Amino acid sequence: MSLSLFDLRGRRALITGSSQGIGLALAQGLAAAGAEIVVNGRDGEKLAAAAGGLRDAGVTARELAFDVTDHAAVRAAVDGFEADVGPIDILINNAGMQQRGPLEEFPAEGFERLLQTNVASVFHVGQAVARHMIGRGRGKIVNVCSVQTALARPGIAPYTATKGAVANLTKGMATDWARHGLQCNGLAPGYFETPLNKALVEDPAFTDWLSRRAPAGRWGRVEELVGAAIFLSSDASSFVNGTVLYVDGGITASL
């Protein structure tokens, strides 16, 4: 009985930004729990490769290409998919970007790009999918936050602002949609070896700092996010709403 709470068979999961990195790892993890996967991205070639790799592993995987920052395109893609293929039971809003630089010199266009990619996309896709979930009286939305949802570091203030906003938008989603049977939560990774963190992974000084700063003493591995994602996507979290689950090796727990 207890293990069946984590069973995702018969569920379909849309994961934005899932052609690589954390998004692809979450796609593979949810598929292993039984979910059908819908991968999303803007690069058609990378998206096809990701979907093909999943299908080669025996996963039922579909591609849904759209720009998460384009409200009309998101709505058209989601509505079309629901009409032509079927319901999206799980949404993981993973698409995001990073841009580093001193706050006093940070370009306005860079700040706007971060807002659109990291925050507006969560609104656009979340709203489009939730409209259908509400009609069915159930659904799971998982918004990927960050350790920077709670903490700041030099050189990434705009990114930190966006991830704080995602956490509060998650709370707002839960507040508005829990009554309709939706559970909306955040998943906040710490420092993981991903393409987004390539510059930091290749910086020996940063890795040395991380090994001393994080109680776990190391970088996270993307597969270590899977258990938390399955929990938040499954019936096991049926009364969990508006929370942010940190998977960060203990960084937010210690000074």
How far apart CA 101 and CA 106 sit, in angstroms, is 6
Contact status, residue 229 vs residue 187, Cβ threshold 8 Å:
yes
202's CB contacts (< 8 A; 6+ apart) are none
**Inter-axis angle of helices 226-233 and 21-32, nearest 10:** 60
- Coil, strand or helix: which one is 20? coil
- Which of 66, 111, 159, 231 is catalytic? The answer is 159
Q: Specify whether 246 is catalytic.
A: no
Tell me the helix, strand and coil percentages in the chain, rounded to 5. Answer: 55, 15, 35
Q: Characterize 211-238 residue by residue with b for buried, 16 or more Cβ atoms within 10 angstroms of its Cβ, and e for exposed.
A: eeebeeeebbebebbbebbbbbbbebbe
Catalytic residues: 159
